[in-house]
Structure 1
């Protein structure tokens, strides 16, 4: 069964203004299913198929000549030189939305696109399901613990497979295939150990030296490995907010995982009871909420940067939305019980950073309400905040 995706509206806008649509996201996030449904009259070519890849590689120009428009080229990172031929072709043809390319390695694809298709290709991520998409299709789970454990990859909703089984297989496949394709990693078991150690630091400012030492690699190797995980849409970095833009890149970021099901598998957390009492439950819940915002902003085409805030005294706000006109501070609490101290950070924020703001506290409870100048928001009502950006 096909489940519609929120990103369709954004894709429709992009296909009217660009000859090439580049759809990038993690493996098994639903990219191919979406593209074959949305562009149902387009011819489909998957470069994971060795025969297809060999035929195109032998004569890329003939392939483009025989398939001048209305084509989908999937897993294009397997044949990046093809993009140069596409560039020449679309410059002559000038037909919008005629070629769709898709892939699962951001680093390999985006570098080649910036070289060959700058100004010609629109770039759009497709991530696993968002919570709002699951809610739209009646697939969302009622409890936040169950939802975080199950995660959001389409396979755990469309196949008869246990989430933990799926994610553990996903980890093995990723390490064996994608990590080696991006960079020739010799010690795959050590890389997998690195992933698990990184999962154990979720929601924390990552100390690269400590992480490298625990893994048994050099700090520059640990930094490279985080970049590999980013390029494959396994993790992302959340940078601290400073008025001085340069400092945002200098100060240490936090690292989060795009999917909590994958995160829990790396932490060997299988049951809701385990998760509820896990020493990292605060960081896992924080990861869940921030990743949902990232998916929603991407699907809606909203270029709203996300940061966290931390001053020299250690005062911290979990998430900052930087819209064109204002900053919106967000605190994320894994507790399901309302406590007025949740809002204390906003008093400091209004006094020292920005006077006229309404902050949001997102918690694991189910009641949403106005609390003075601020807002208490249930974990399953995140669209409320996005709608106000």
Structure 2
């Protein structure tokens, strides 16, 4: 098992909350992590129809079988169980009693908000970070290999190619999860929508364009984006609210959580195809944003990431909201640093004034350097930012 950065976080949370909830996409390692962190707790998957029927029909009897707590996997499948969990934990008084996992963000969060508010420590577990792979002694051979392969754990612990694994993953996701969350009558249309989203990773979200290209309504496109968010396929990066320029773009940017999945969806089925592919820059930007999110989520923290863009095209890819300051970060896939890489940073710093914090640039090269008072970080050293 490759050690996860979130391991310590969930152990710490178990000292202060009766419940610890681990949510994230399917196959991100939630079950493996929870069982490794709490090896003495019994495990029950509510994907099992028999167990789910027992929990649905007799929740008190079901919980009586776990007097010292348990790991309940995919617990959002049994929403009526949450109220009984609350009562039992309140009477018991012990911390770290129940470990709850789920792969559908909205279903798990809504039940926690309604029944377990203030009693749950939350961790969002995404696929491996590059830091985790490096510390396990299996660093990527190259940037293109990393972008192509992606970071889902099963690809690293079994003899399967990325193309084979992603094909099966999408099939399972469409057939099971999508049907559970909403009534999608035309799965082929949803899969086409998913591929169109992958082709737009790293771009401003334009629901009207997606709807037109997929021959669906605007409201359907909006609902389907919510489904992709809920199941941790995509993340929407919001523009920062500070009014440094009145002609600001207000639409969010669309990012896939994993570049390997996005690459497969747009038809990149060989690593060699990536070198000159027009989406290489967008996939690199997607990977960087994903690493930054993992750095926050693995510590049990919410995202503090935003972006800035005005109507004339000036842009900073990421702003870290540090409370008193905003740290700007630019992302460039090229291996050679050129002066135009700093244009957006300089424009924003001039507008932000005293609010501007330390600027960064992450690029596709391999030399750590400082240029124009900007810390230039090679892709292989991104942990110097994510692990701060």
Name the counterpart of 2:144: 145
Name the counterpart of 2:29: 30
Q: Is the 8 A contact 1:71 1:100 kept in 2?
A: yes
Alignment partners' CA distance in 2, 1:298 and 1:80:
24
Q: Is the 8 A contact 2:155 2:165 kept in 1?
A: yes
TM-aligned CA deviation for residue 48 of structure 1: 1.1
Alignment partners' CA distance in 2, 1:58 and 1:304:
38
Paired residue total: 385
Please give the secondary structure, in 1, of the residue aligned with 2:353: coil
Q: Is the 8 A contact 1:304 1:322 kept in 2?
A: no
Name the counterpart of 1:173: 172
Name the counterpart of 1:45: 44
Alignment partners' CA distance in 1, 2:249 and 2:351:
22
Name the counterpart of 1:196: 195
Q: Is the 8 A contact 2:358 2:374 kept in 1?
A: yes
Alignment partners' CA distance in 2, 1:267 and 1:296:
27
Provide the TM-score with structure 1 as the length reference: 0.95
* Residues 242-286 of structure 1 deviation map (CA, whole Å, 9 limit, x = unaligned): 2159x9x99211110001110011011022331121111111110
Evaluate the alpha carbon distance shift between residue 204 and residue 291 of structure 1 in structure 2; reply closer, same or farther with a 3 A threshold. Answer: same
Name the counterpart of 2:110: 111
Name the counterpart of 1:262: 261
Provide the TM-score with structure 2 as the length reference: 0.96
Alignment partners' CA distance in 1, 2:387 and 2:22:
25
Q: Is the 8 A contact 2:249 2:309 kept in 1?
A: no
Correspondence 1:1-389 to 2 at 5 A: 2-243=1-242, 251-355=250-354, 357-388=357-388
TM-aligned CA deviation for residue 120 of structure 1: 1.1
Alignment partners' CA distance in 2, 1:378 and 1:61:
54
Q: Which runs of 4+ in 1 moved over 4 A?
A: none
Alignment partners' CA distance in 1, 2:357 and 2:119:
39
- Specify every segment of 5 or more residues in structure 1 that has no aligned partner in the other structure, as ranges: none
Please give the secondary structure, in 2, of the residue aligned with 1:124: strand
TM-aligned CA deviation for residue 387 of structure 1: 4.2
Q: CA RMSD in A?
A: 1.7
Alignment partners' CA distance in 1, 2:65 and 2:301:
37
Q: Is the 8 A contact 1:200 1:267 kept in 2?
A: yes
Q: Is the 8 A contact 1:24 1:125 kept in 2?
A: yes
Q: Is the 8 A contact 1:304 1:323 kept in 2?
A: no
Alignment partners' CA distance in 2, 1:387 and 1:125:
16
Q: Bigger CA drift: 374-383 or 294-303?
A: 294-303
Alignment partners' CA distance in 1, 2:139 and 2:77:
35
Alignment partners' CA distance in 2, 1:182 and 1:304:
25
Alignment partners' CA distance in 1, 2:370 and 2:259:
29
* Residues 150-199 of structure 1 deviation map (CA, whole Å, 9 limit, x = unaligned): 11111100000000110111011101110110111110010000000111
Q: Bigger CA drift: 152-161 or 345-354?
A: 345-354
TM-aligned CA deviation for residue 126 of structure 1: 1.2
- Specify every segment of 5 or more residues in structure 2 that has no aligned partner in the other structure, as ranges: none
TM-aligned CA deviation for residue 117 of structure 1: 0.4
Q: Is the 8 A contact 1:236 1:255 kept in 2?
A: yes
Q: Is the 8 A contact 1:23 1:125 kept in 2?
A: yes
Evaluate the alpha carbon distance shift between residue 303 and residue 225 of structure 1 in structure 2; reply closer, same or farther with a 3 A threshold. Answer: closer
Please give the secondary structure, in 2, of the residue aligned with 1:128: coil
Alignment partners' CA distance in 1, 2:285 and 2:44:
39
Q: Is the 8 A contact 2:2 2:133 kept in 1?
A: no
Q: Is the 8 A contact 1:105 1:232 kept in 2?
A: yes
Alignment partners' CA distance in 2, 1:231 and 1:330:
27
Alignment partners' CA distance in 1, 2:156 and 2:255:
23
Please give the secondary structure, in 2, of the residue aligned with 1:3: coil
TM-aligned CA deviation for residue 220 of structure 1: 0.4
TM-aligned CA deviation for residue 304 of structure 1: 4.7
Alignment partners' CA distance in 2, 1:49 and 1:250:
46
Please give the secondary structure, in 2, of the residue aligned with 1:338: coil
TM-aligned CA deviation for residue 65 of structure 1: 2.2
